[in-house]
Amino acid sequence: MPELREVTVEVRGMTCDHCERTVAGALQSVPGVKEVLEVSHAGAVARVRAEPEATAERIEQAVARVGYRARVKEAPQALAARTGSARAGEDFDLIVVGGGSAGFAAAIKAPALGARGAMAEGGAPGGTGVEVGVFSL
């Protein structure tokens, strides 16, 4: 029996309970999705329990077919496997230049959205960003 994993999907465009039911139906139609755990228009998120054949591409396409924008969030173990990969030539999703409050806010939010970020500052980096580990130095 294939291993089940929990998949979190960011879903944009939902505004009501009907939207939630529509997205849930689309997710249930994806081969390999065994259970829809949650769909929330308020949180702009859906969670499913799925087998490996329920790929990110299949999930995102199913949601797009019913009129919403979806992005499968990367699993924590997949993010952990990428640690240090920028030094090996991988691009960043976000590069913040400057250490102002908006820059720190973006740098802190990037990993929560599955993005790989870096921050460049003329002086020594400091503040909240260092404490939560968003820098790739």
Model confidence, pTM:
0.56
Domain of residue 107: give its range. 78-132
- For residue 25, what is the domain's CATH number? 3.30.70.100
When divided into structural domains, the chain yields a total of 2
Last residue of a domain, one of 51, 73, 95: 73
Residue 10 domain-assigned (yes or no)? yes
Residue 137 domain-assigned (yes or no)? no
Q: Are residues 69 and 107 in the same domain?
A: no
Instruction: Give a three-class secondary structure readout of the chain.
Output: CCCCEEEEEEEECCCCHHHHHHHHHHHHCCCCEEEEEEEECCCCEEEEEECCCCCHHHHHHHHHHCCCEEEECCCHHHHHHCCCHHHHCCCCCEEEECCCHHHHHHHHHHHHCCCCEEEECCCCCCCHHHHHCCCCC
How does pLDDT run across 95-127, given as a tens digit for each residue? 888 777 787 788 778 777 777 777 777 665 555
Last residue of a domain, one of 73, 94, 119: 73
How does pLDDT run across 47-83, given as a tens digit for each residue? 999 999 999 999 999 999 999 999 998 664 444 444 4
